[in-house]
Chain A
């Protein structure tokens, strides 16, 4: 399994990198600040992956320094979309300050959170096997 960097877009405060893991799983790594100005870049990247048939998404938040309600709204919206298609969206390694926001909004119970991309990949594969 050799992931490749499919795309990398970014502005001053945000960089979004996507890479394919397999035919239906992709990783989105978000570096920087996700707010009302920058989040549309993340949304576009996620929609592009959905259009290509990636319904199992891993969102790596390890390098995400800031996240607001706009970002949470996009994550929730994407989660709904992938689940409608039998997929899932898992978060990886959110920093404590981001995890706190997930707890306050109770979205911590909505998202599955893994420590590493590898763990998320394994869990997504396991979910796929269970639903087959």
Chain B
């Protein structure tokens, strides 16, 4: 049992691009508290940034600033679980992820973003329904640092 197990951090940001950095910094601080490696923290920052960017650009773009995007960090013994939710119209995640099969230069920014999220996190689950928004649940497992491995 670690000191952070079971701790929970929540953040709500306005649906505006300038707040994506706030989300990134918050999650990075939580990950650092869990002693994740620098590389893993960088991965999480990019993935969370992409999830928030997706939420802002596609979640509820017609009401910029009016809707809030929620970010939830669950600190588990062996993993950091980050969930990003937007209250927008939703989309079909399968359509976006299918773009991976295309050449990199023809990928849309959303396609690139989805590819990054799926590549950088250990587990990713999208759930999106018309009218109820979109939720991205991302898991990064805690790996022992080199110092811990050396004992």
Contact = CB atoms under 8 A, between A and B. Distances in A.
Contacts of B21: 13, 33, 35, 37
Interface residues of B, number: 27
Interface in A68-96: 68-70, 72-73, 76, 79-80
Contacts of B50: 68-69
Given A37-B21, A101-B116, A69 B105 contact: no
B124 interface: no
B105 A36 contact: no
A2 interface: no
A36 B17 contact: yes
Interface stretch (A16-24, A45-53, A102-110, A113-121): A102-110
A33 B104 CA distance: 22
B45 A69 contact: no
Given A68-B113, A105-B112, A97 B42 contact: yes
Main secondary structure of the interface of A (DSSP, over half): helix
B120 interface: yes
B49 A68 contact: yes
Interface size class of A (residues with CB under 8 A): 20 to 34
Interface of B: 17-18, 20-21, 24, 39, 42, 45-46, 49-50, 53, 56-57, 103-105, 107-110, 112-113, 115-116, 119-120
Interface of A: 13, 33, 35-37, 66, 68-70, 72-73, 76, 79-80, 97, 101, 104-107, 109-110
16 contacts: A33-B21, A36-B57, A37-B21, A66-B24, A66-B46, A66-B49, A68-B116, A69-B113, A69-B116, A70-B109, A72-B112, A73-B108, A73-B112, A79-B105, A104-B115, A105-B116
